[in-house]
Amino acid sequence: MEYNKKRLRKQLILLSFLFVTCILSSSIIFLGATVFRSQLPFFQLIDGEVLADIQLQPAPSPNPGVVSFESQSAVNLYLILGSDYRPESGFRTDTILLAAVDSRSGKASVVSFPRDLWVSIPGFGEGRINTVMQKGGFPLLANTLQTNFGVYPTQYAMINMDGFLQVVDTLDGITINTENYTADACDGSLDPDRWCEVGPGIVSLDSELALWYVRARYNSSDFDRMRRTQEVIKAVFAKVVTPAGMLKIPQLMRIYESGVESNINPDDLLPLVRVGLGFNLDDVRWYVVGSDVVTSWTTAEGAAVLLPDTPAIQAILQEALTFD
């Protein structure tokens, strides 16, 4: 009998403790979401970093001969951009990827566009695709993609070089798996001879070497850059979805605040979260606008650019945007 009383007393104490803990937790969450909302990184991300003032117009009519892809409610289109921004020197988006995520299946496709692709820029004539963001921001880039290729993304995220370095540092480096050998000029801080070499095989990269790897250009082409960029993106995703990587989410969110420009609302991230939590690289299809669908050309000013084979590029997009 005495034993049963002691057991009941312990259970009551435990229940009381759990009840108080629940009340305290709820109070902390409430205060964080109201009184101290503006001081917490998570709510700063939700409330302050989304560029809600970006207004997209209805998709413009594409160029003659360009088929406009019909929007599918379950397929979300995102542009993932990497800029070479430096203070007082402007920027160009040398990394341009279109990501299509099917919210029903959690599958995704990624299409890389070369930075030297020569396109019609509404209101500006013709120019390289990597100059469009600086001319008119994301609305102009969305219009440019619709005009030239019939695809109209409505959401984007653009990371600068500093943000990229912070992401890789936060993840304590990344590991790529490449079938290719890459050698190119690099900064003396990476190699005393100012010549860096990577691959083939499994290679660990710190942030500085990873940045060099995606940007190396003196001894390689746009097409090499796109391949290397996709390898690095795969490595970052693979690291983030590990248990150790998940613990870094709060730090990555703070980097998002300072190093990423975006108009993506939190609700719009749900399809990406679904992909991330059950992430399998086999569920992502990777495409490039490669050398077989462009033609090298030199402008009257002497600039080396790439002329698009529009029907061939549209065929790539058609496959990328179709989910079973």
Which DSSP category does 50 fall into? B
Examine the pLDDT at 284 and tell me if it is beyond 50.
yes
pTM above 0.75, yes or no: yes
Examine the pLDDT at 156 and tell me if it is beyond 80.
yes
Under 8 Å between Cβ of 195 and 185:
yes
What average pLDDT score do residues 143-168 get? 94
Residue 189's Cβ-count burial label (10 Å; 0-12, 13-18, 19+) is: exposed
> Who wins on pLDDT, 259 or 36?
259
- Alpha-carbon separation of residue 60 from 51, 242, 270, 303, 321 (angstroms): 22, 42, 28, 28, 19
- As a whole number, the mean pLDDT across the chain is 81
Q: What's the pLDDT score for residue 45?
A: 40
Strand partners, 117: 306
Render pLDDT for 227-250 as a digit per residue (tens, 0 to 9): 999 999 999 989 988 889 888 888
Q: What's the pLDDT score for residue 132?
A: 96
What does 68-135 look like in DSSP terms, one character per residue?
PPPP-TTEEEEEEEEE---TTS---EEEEEEEEEETTT--EEEEEE-TTBEEEETTTEEEEGGGHHHH
What domains sit in the chain, N to C, each tagged with a CATH number?
36-320 (3.40.630.190)
Q: What's the pLDDT score for residue 91?
A: 83
Under 8 Å between Cβ of 54 and 139:
yes
> Who wins on pLDDT, 249 or 17?
249
Examine the pLDDT at 26 and tell me if it is beyond 80.
no
Examine the pLDDT at 274 and tell me if it is beyond 60.
no
Among 18-32, 82-96, 143-157, name the one with the lowest average pLDDT: 18-32
Q: What's the pLDDT score for residue 252?
A: 87
Render pLDDT for 85-129 as a digit per residue (tens, 0 to 9): 766 667 899 999 999 988 888 789 999 999 999 999 999 999 999
Q: How many CB atoms lie within 10 A of CB 315?
A: 12
Q: Residue 210: name the closest of 241, 233, 192, 242 by CA.
A: 233
Q: How far apart are CA 164 and CA 89, in angstroms?
A: 18
Under 8 Å between Cβ of 323 and 105:
yes
Examine the pLDDT at 187 and tell me if it is beyond 60.
yes
Render pLDDT for 47-82 as a digit per residue (tens, 0 to 9): 434 444 566 777 888 888 898 887 666 788 999 999
> Who wins on pLDDT, 84 or 142?
142
Residue 117's Cβ-count burial label (10 Å; 0-12, 13-18, 19+) is: buried
Under 8 Å between Cβ of 167 and 255:
yes
Q: Residue 236: name the closest of 199, 268, 284 by CA.
A: 284
Render pLDDT for 193-205 as a digit per residue (tens, 0 to 9): 999 999 999 999 9
Q: Residue 118: name the closest of 265, 264, 310, 278 by CA.
A: 310
Tokens for 259?
Answer: 């190093």
Q: How many CB atoms lie within 10 A of CB 21?
A: 10
